[in-house]
Structures are given as structure tokens and as C-alpha cells.
Amino acid sequence: MFKFLINPSRFNKFADIIFKPLVIVTSLILIVGLFLVYFSPLDYQQGLTVKIMYIHVPSAWLALLTYAIMTIYSIIGLAFKIPFSFVINRAIAPIGAIFTLLCLISGSMWGKPMWGTWWVWDARLTSELILLFIYLSIIFLYYSFDDYRKGSKAANILAVVGFINIPIIHFSVEWWNTLHQGPSVMKLSAPSIANEMLFPLIYTSIGFTLYLLAAILLSSRNELMIREKNTNWIKSI
């Protein structure tokens, strides 16, 4: 049923079918999200800067989601020796790095008026910075070997090992005394954020997530065309 996720030709056909509808749906959701963000209320303490939340929170979520996807493909590639998994991860890693960088930049902009500084060596911020370094190291390993397979293997081993940082990021605000606030939306009890802010955040998060999927499809397909250019199924397109 899910062979298109690990088979190059089936993945390419799947990407051809779903990419345009996905872009249309993503655009519509993001437009609605931007409309809701524009009319969302200001915070009595943070004022207009609270709207940075609608970029920061989705970026933080997607930085972790992208890494989780990459880890799954790394395990599949290493355990079952499926080269296509490495192709996907080579395409995904830069996307994850961009979302992580966006999370850090937006977080600094949001934190400056609240904390009085652009950066603190807080557990959440530091572990997120480490995630960026892991992403960059994975990208570096992919391009550090003349042999594509050796670089892919080294990068995917690092991806699996680096996954230990994901739960650290998520639970850092609970394990340590940090300046970063605890979870407001994804928690066992009801969200501790007003509905007028929650709904725009949900829309932007869904829109960003669909954008991530579209970016993965496009980037993976381009990488696939480069790596599989001499195969029969590529020549038959």
C-alpha cells in the first residue's frame, strides 16, 4: 500500500498526481490563516509582537517533524538497504535546516521584547540550536565523500543518532527551569491559549505542514531525477 514511499518510479508518479492539488490546498489554507492572523487580537503584554507566534510555533513544529521523517527514512535505508531512502533524506535535510533557522530567528525576535535580549543559553534554545548543527552536519556529510553511498550512509547514521535530541527539545521546558514558556496547545489538558489566537495558529500550522509536504515532494523529485537519470524508468518519461 505504501510502496510509493520507498519505490522511485512509484514515488515520482505519486508526486506528479498530488503536487498541484497540494499546492492549491496549501495556498488556500495559508490565505485563510493570514486573514485570521491579521484580525487576531493583540496580547496585553506583548502587543503586536505576539503575531510572531504564528511563524515561530509552526516552524518549531516542522523542524521536529522534518527530522522525524528523515530519521524514519534513515532507519529504512540502513536496515533494508534501500538507496531511495537516502535520496529522500538528501532532499529533506536542507528543508529541515531552513525551518530550524526560521524557528531560531523568529524566537529571538519574539524573545527580545520579553526577555530583554536576543539570546539566552536556555535549554530549549540551546537544544534547538544543536538541532540546526545536526542538520548542517548531515548536509555536510552528504557532500563530503566522492562516493555517494558512503556519504549517504554516514549522514543517515548521524541522523539516527541525532534523533536523541528531539525528545530533549520537546521536554526541555518540563525537565529544566527555563525562560521559554511551556506547551500552550499540545498538552493533555485543554489549550491555555484564547480561541481567537488558537484558530489562526491551527490554520497557519496546517498550512505550513502542507507546505512542508509540497517542498519535500518537489525537492525529492528533483533529487531523484539527478540520481536516477541513467535508469530505464527515467528515460521512459
pLDDT tens-digit series, residues 115-126: 788 888 888 888
Q: How many C-beta atoms lie closer than 10 Å to residue 212's C-beta?
A: 22
- Could you tell me if residue 142 is inside a domain? yes
Instruction: Please state the domain count of the chain.
Output: 1
- Could you tell me if residue 236 is inside a domain? no
Residue 48's pLDDT is what?
A: 76
47: which DSSP letter? B
Residue 210 is part of a domain; what is its CATH number? 1.20.120
| pLDDT at 5 > cutoff 70 | no
The sign of the torsion formed by the CA atoms of 62, 63, 66, 71 equals negative
Query: Phi then psi for 184, rounded to 5 degrees?
Result: -110, -20
Determine the average pLDDT of the residues in 91-105: 94
Asked if 129 and 101 count as a contact pair (C-beta separation under 8 A), the reply is no
- Could you tell me if residue 58 is inside a domain? yes
- Could you tell me if residue 190 is inside a domain? no
Residue 147's pLDDT is what?
A: 82
**pLDDT tens, position by position, 183-195:** 555 554 555 577 7
Q: What distance in Å separates the CA atoms of residue 190 and residue 16, rounded to the nearest whole number?
A: 40
Asked if 211 and 79 count as a contact pair (C-beta separation under 8 A), the reply is no
| pLDDT at 146 > cutoff 90 | no
Which has more pLDDT, 180 or 198? Answer: 198
Q: What distance in Å separates the CA atoms of residue 129 and residue 200, rounded to the nearest whole number?
A: 27
Q: What distance in Å separates the CA atoms of residue 216 and residue 212, rounded to the nearest whole number?
A: 6
Quickly state the pLDDT bin for 233 (edges 50, 70, 90): low
Range of the domain at 28: 20-182+196-227
| pLDDT at 182 > cutoff 70 | no
Amino acid of residue 95: I
Q: What is the mean pLDDT of the chain?
A: 84
Straight-line distance from the first to the last Cα atom of the chain, in angstroms, rounded to the nearest whole number: 23
- Could you tell me if residue 6 is inside a domain? no
- Could you tell me if residue 188 is inside a domain? no
Asked if 77 and 83 count as a contact pair (C-beta separation under 8 A), the reply is yes
**pLDDT tens, position by position, 43-80:** 766 777 788 889 999 999 999 999 999 999 999 989 98
Determine the average pLDDT of the residues in 200-205: 91
Grid coordinates 534554545 are at which residue? Answer: 125
Q: What distance in Å separates the CA atoms of residue 21 and residue 219, rounded to the nearest whole number?
A: 17
Q: What is the pTM (predicted TM-score) of this model?
A: 0.86
Residue among 150, 149, 152 nearest 138 (CA): 152
